[in-house]
Structure 1
Amino acid sequence: MLKIKFAAIAAVLSLTGTAVYADGSAANGAQKIKTFGCITCHGRDGVSKLAEAPNLAGQVQIYLTSALQAYRTGGRKNEMMNTVAEKLTDSDIADLATYYSSIAVSVAPPPRP
Protein backbone atom coordinates (compact mmCIF):
# COMPACT_ATOMS: atom_id res chain seq x y z
CA MET A 1 0.00 0.00 0.00
CA LEU A 2 2.81 2.38 0.86
CA LYS A 3 4.51 1.67 -2.48
CA ILE A 4 1.29 2.57 -4.30
CA LYS A 5 1.05 5.90 -2.44
CA PHE A 6 4.65 6.78 -3.29
CA ALA A 7 4.12 5.79 -6.92
CA ALA A 8 1.01 8.00 -7.11
CA ILE A 9 2.84 10.96 -5.55
CA ALA A 10 5.80 10.49 -7.91
CA ALA A 11 3.46 10.37 -10.91
CA VAL A 12 1.71 13.58 -9.91
CA LEU A 13 4.99 15.37 -9.23
CA SER A 14 6.47 14.27 -12.54
CA LEU A 15 3.44 15.54 -14.44
CA THR A 16 3.46 18.81 -12.55
CA GLY A 17 7.19 19.23 -13.02
CA THR A 18 7.12 18.87 -16.78
CA ALA A 19 4.05 20.99 -17.33
CA VAL A 20 4.79 23.81 -14.90
CA TYR A 21 8.58 23.92 -15.00
CA ALA A 22 9.24 23.45 -18.69
CA ASP A 23 12.74 24.02 -19.96
CA GLY A 24 13.20 27.34 -21.63
CA SER A 25 15.83 28.87 -23.85
CA ALA A 26 18.49 31.11 -22.34
CA ALA A 27 19.02 32.71 -25.76
CA ASN A 28 15.33 33.56 -26.03
CA GLY A 29 15.34 34.76 -22.42
CA ALA A 30 18.24 37.11 -23.21
CA GLN A 31 16.04 38.78 -25.82
CA LYS A 32 12.91 38.77 -23.66
CA ILE A 33 14.56 40.59 -20.75
CA LYS A 34 14.75 43.57 -23.12
CA THR A 35 11.23 43.09 -24.49
CA PHE A 36 9.60 42.92 -21.06
CA GLY A 37 11.87 45.52 -19.42
CA CYS A 38 13.43 43.14 -16.89
CA ILE A 39 16.83 44.76 -17.40
CA THR A 40 15.54 48.05 -16.01
CA CYS A 41 15.42 46.67 -12.47
CA HIS A 42 17.18 43.30 -12.55
CA GLY A 43 19.88 44.10 -15.11
CA ARG A 44 21.15 42.18 -18.13
CA ASP A 45 23.57 40.41 -15.82
CA GLY A 46 20.93 39.64 -13.18
CA VAL A 47 22.42 42.09 -10.71
CA SER A 48 19.76 44.46 -9.45
CA LYS A 49 19.93 48.12 -10.39
CA LEU A 50 17.46 49.13 -7.67
CA ALA A 51 17.66 48.51 -3.93
CA GLU A 52 14.10 47.12 -3.80
CA ALA A 53 14.59 44.66 -6.68
CA PRO A 54 16.32 41.32 -6.00
CA ASN A 55 19.33 39.97 -7.84
CA LEU A 56 18.27 37.16 -10.18
CA ALA A 57 21.65 35.96 -11.44
CA GLY A 58 22.14 32.30 -10.64
CA GLN A 59 18.77 31.98 -8.90
CA VAL A 60 17.21 28.51 -9.05
CA GLN A 61 15.10 28.06 -12.19
CA ILE A 62 12.17 26.42 -10.41
CA TYR A 63 12.04 29.29 -7.92
CA LEU A 64 12.05 31.92 -10.68
CA THR A 65 9.36 30.04 -12.58
CA SER A 66 7.16 29.70 -9.50
CA ALA A 67 7.63 33.36 -8.56
CA LEU A 68 6.73 34.61 -12.05
CA GLN A 69 3.68 32.37 -12.20
CA ALA A 70 2.57 33.62 -8.79
CA TYR A 71 3.01 37.24 -9.88
CA ARG A 72 1.06 36.49 -13.07
CA THR A 73 -1.91 35.02 -11.19
CA GLY A 74 -1.81 37.60 -8.39
CA GLY A 75 -0.87 34.98 -5.80
CA ARG A 76 2.22 37.04 -5.08
CA LYS A 77 1.82 40.79 -4.78
CA ASN A 78 4.07 43.50 -6.17
CA GLU A 79 2.55 46.24 -8.29
CA MET A 80 5.34 46.34 -10.86
CA MET A 81 5.83 42.58 -11.09
CA ASN A 82 2.09 41.85 -11.29
CA THR A 83 1.79 44.31 -14.19
CA VAL A 84 4.74 42.82 -16.07
CA ALA A 85 3.97 39.17 -15.33
CA GLU A 86 0.32 39.30 -16.41
CA LYS A 87 1.57 39.63 -20.01
CA LEU A 88 3.91 36.62 -19.82
CA THR A 89 3.11 33.27 -21.42
CA ASP A 90 4.35 29.98 -19.97
CA SER A 91 7.03 29.99 -22.66
CA ASP A 92 8.12 33.52 -21.71
CA ILE A 93 8.40 32.50 -18.07
CA ALA A 94 10.43 29.40 -18.93
CA ASP A 95 12.81 31.44 -21.11
CA LEU A 96 13.27 34.20 -18.52
CA ALA A 97 13.84 31.72 -15.69
CA THR A 98 16.29 29.74 -17.81
CA TYR A 99 18.23 32.87 -18.76
CA TYR A 100 18.63 34.28 -15.25
CA SER A 101 19.34 30.85 -13.72
CA SER A 102 22.07 30.22 -16.30
CA ILE A 103 24.15 33.22 -15.20
CA ALA A 104 27.19 32.00 -13.29
CA VAL A 105 27.68 33.50 -9.85
CA SER A 106 30.77 33.23 -7.69
CA VAL A 107 30.59 33.77 -3.97
CA ALA A 108 33.30 34.38 -1.41
CA PRO A 109 32.72 34.41 2.33
CA PRO A 110 33.97 37.43 4.24
CA PRO A 111 37.46 37.17 5.73
CA ARG A 112 37.67 35.68 9.18
CA PRO A 113 38.33 38.16 11.99
Structure 2
Amino acid sequence: MKKLALVVLGATMSVAPLAMSADPAAGKAKAAICAACHGANGVSAIPLYPNLAGQKEQYLLKQMKDFKSGKRPDPVMKAQAAMLSDADMANLAAYYASLK
Protein backbone atom coordinates (compact mmCIF):
# COMPACT_ATOMS: atom_id res chain seq x y z
CA MET A 1 0.00 0.00 0.00
CA LYS A 2 2.85 2.39 0.83
CA LYS A 3 4.45 1.73 -2.57
CA LEU A 4 1.20 2.55 -4.37
CA ALA A 5 0.85 5.78 -2.39
CA LEU A 6 4.41 6.77 -3.32
CA VAL A 7 3.79 6.04 -7.01
CA VAL A 8 0.59 8.11 -7.01
CA LEU A 9 2.29 10.92 -5.10
CA GLY A 10 5.24 10.90 -7.50
CA ALA A 11 2.98 10.96 -10.56
CA THR A 12 0.94 13.81 -9.09
CA MET A 13 4.02 15.84 -8.26
CA SER A 14 5.45 15.42 -11.77
CA VAL A 15 2.27 16.85 -13.35
CA ALA A 16 1.37 19.42 -10.71
CA PRO A 17 4.24 21.89 -11.37
CA LEU A 18 3.31 22.10 -15.04
CA ALA A 19 -0.37 22.69 -14.32
CA MET A 20 0.35 25.17 -11.56
CA SER A 21 2.81 27.16 -13.65
CA ALA A 22 0.61 27.43 -16.75
CA ASP A 23 -0.29 31.02 -17.59
CA PRO A 24 -3.56 31.50 -19.48
CA ALA A 25 -2.65 35.13 -20.30
CA ALA A 26 0.57 33.99 -21.96
CA GLY A 27 -1.44 31.31 -23.77
CA LYS A 28 -3.85 33.94 -25.07
CA ALA A 29 -0.93 35.97 -26.43
CA LYS A 30 0.45 32.86 -28.15
CA ALA A 31 -2.95 31.80 -29.54
CA ALA A 32 -3.10 34.34 -32.37
CA ILE A 33 -1.79 31.85 -34.92
CA CYS A 34 -4.25 29.18 -33.70
CA ALA A 35 -7.16 31.55 -34.39
CA ALA A 36 -6.73 31.17 -38.15
CA CYS A 37 -8.25 27.68 -37.98
CA HIS A 38 -9.70 27.34 -34.47
CA GLY A 39 -11.37 30.76 -34.19
CA ALA A 40 -10.50 33.90 -32.27
CA ASN A 41 -12.00 32.53 -29.05
CA GLY A 42 -11.32 28.87 -29.68
CA VAL A 43 -14.62 28.31 -31.49
CA SER A 44 -14.07 27.40 -35.11
CA ALA A 45 -16.30 28.79 -37.86
CA ILE A 46 -15.18 25.91 -40.11
CA PRO A 47 -16.51 22.46 -39.17
CA LEU A 48 -13.29 20.79 -40.33
CA TYR A 49 -11.36 22.37 -37.43
CA PRO A 50 -12.26 21.44 -33.84
CA ASN A 51 -13.31 23.89 -31.17
CA LEU A 52 -10.65 24.29 -28.49
CA ALA A 53 -12.58 26.48 -26.05
CA GLY A 54 -13.65 24.65 -22.92
CA GLN A 55 -11.71 21.47 -23.60
CA LYS A 56 -9.94 19.91 -20.64
CA GLU A 57 -6.47 21.36 -20.07
CA GLN A 58 -4.69 18.00 -19.83
CA TYR A 59 -6.42 16.77 -23.00
CA LEU A 60 -5.29 19.83 -24.96
CA LEU A 61 -1.76 19.53 -23.63
CA LYS A 62 -1.57 15.84 -24.55
CA GLN A 63 -2.82 16.50 -28.08
CA MET A 64 -0.23 19.23 -28.69
CA LYS A 65 2.56 17.00 -27.36
CA ASP A 66 1.34 14.12 -29.54
CA PHE A 67 1.31 16.37 -32.62
CA LYS A 68 4.81 17.59 -31.84
CA SER A 69 6.20 14.09 -31.32
CA GLY A 70 4.42 12.67 -34.36
CA LYS A 71 2.42 10.23 -32.22
CA ARG A 72 -0.68 11.92 -33.62
CA PRO A 73 0.06 12.45 -37.32
CA ASP A 74 -1.08 15.67 -38.94
CA PRO A 75 1.39 17.63 -41.07
CA VAL A 76 -0.14 21.05 -40.36
CA MET A 77 -0.41 20.57 -36.60
CA LYS A 78 3.02 18.93 -36.40
CA ALA A 79 4.54 22.06 -37.97
CA GLN A 80 2.60 24.33 -35.61
CA ALA A 81 3.46 22.29 -32.52
CA ALA A 82 7.13 22.09 -33.52
CA MET A 83 7.39 25.82 -32.83
CA LEU A 84 6.04 25.48 -29.29
CA SER A 85 7.99 24.90 -26.10
CA ASP A 86 6.54 22.81 -23.28
CA ALA A 87 5.66 26.05 -21.47
CA ASP A 88 3.93 27.41 -24.59
CA MET A 89 1.83 24.26 -24.86
CA ALA A 90 0.92 24.38 -21.16
CA ASN A 91 -0.04 28.05 -21.46
CA LEU A 92 -2.15 27.45 -24.56
CA ALA A 93 -3.90 24.52 -22.90
CA ALA A 94 -4.63 26.64 -19.82
CA TYR A 95 -5.96 29.46 -21.97
CA TYR A 96 -8.31 27.35 -24.09
CA ALA A 97 -9.50 25.38 -21.04
CA SER A 98 -10.43 28.66 -19.36
CA LEU A 99 -12.81 29.63 -22.18
CA LYS A 100 -16.49 28.74 -22.29
TM-score scaled by length of structure 2: 0.88
1:80 is matched by which residue type in structure 2?
V
Task: List gaps (5 residues or longer) in structure 2.
Answer: none
The alpha-carbon distance between structure 1 residues 26 and 20, as it changes in their structure 2 partners (threshold 3 A), is closer
Deviation track 1:37-86 (CA, whole Å, cap 9, x = no partner) reads 10001112111132221101100001001111111111111111111001
2:96 pairs with 1:100: yes
2:56 is matched by which residue type in structure 1?
V
**Residue of structure 2 in register with 1:109 after alignment:** none
Distance of 1:56 and 1:32 partners within structure 2: 14
2:27 is matched by which residue type in structure 1?
G
TM-score scaled by length of structure 1: 0.79
Distance of 1:86 and 1:59 partners within structure 2: 21
Whose Rg is larger? 1
2:89 is matched by which residue type in structure 1?
I
Larger relative helix fraction: 2
For this pair of structures, how many residues does the alignment match?
100
CA RMSD of aligned residues (A): 1.6
2:34 pairs with 1:38: yes
Distance of 1:75 and 1:28 partners within structure 2: 26
Runs of 4+ in 1 over 6 A off after TM superposition: none
2:83 pairs with 1:75: no
The alpha-carbon distance between structure 1 residues 11 and 4, as it changes in their structure 2 partners (threshold 3 A), is same
Task: List gaps (5 residues or longer) in structure 1.
Answer: 105-113
Higher relative CO (Cα under 8 Å, sequence separation at least 6) belongs to 2
